[in-house]
Amino acid sequence: MTAETLAAAVTFAAAFAALFAAHSFGDHWVQTHGQACAKGAPGWAGRWACAKHVATLPATKLIALAAVALITGLHLNPAAVAIALLIDAASHYWADRRTPLQRLATQLGKQDFYQLGAGHLGSGSHALDQSWHHLWIFVATLIIAGGA
């Protein structure tokens, strides 16, 4: 392993931990009840609620990444971070509008799981939503590590 690949691996590990923790906090603590209830609604009201929620996520994740960089001295490429957070936010908005994720689940034969425990946290739709977000956190982290 070269110094460059080691730096990328360390960046990946630190950035993933920061993004994962910040995602969980941002998606459940920072998001308001009104945003959570309205973000999947049809029309501009739903789009606006979702956009307000999603706008808080890159900010929350940027704070976590900055804290890691400050405490550890980790170098993060600002352009890579910006691109990663933009892609992550776009994927989050797409899923949180609910209908697109439900359609994808149906197309992949996951409709029964999606409906499992409907209307409750811990439901199939929540598990699929969170796993979607985790995938895109992984992608965002690859982008950040690639910019190291």
DSSP state of 110: -
3-state helix, strand, coil in the chain (%, to 5): 80, 0, 20
pLDDT by residue, tens only, the chain of 148 residues: 898 899 999 999 999 999 999 999 999 999 999 999 999 999 999 999 999 999 999 999 999 999 999 999 999 999 999 999 999 999 999 999 999 999 999 999 999 999 998 777 678 999 999 999 999 999 999 999 999 6
Structural domain range at position 109: 3-146
Q: pTM, whole model, 2 decimals?
A: 0.92
CA distance 120 to 31: 17
- The total of structural domains in the chain comes to 1
Task: Give the side-chain half-sphere CA count within 13 A for 58.
Answer: 18
Contact of 22 with 147, CB cutoff 8 Å: no
Residue 3 burial (CB count, 10 A):
7
Give the pLDDT of residue 54. Answer: 98
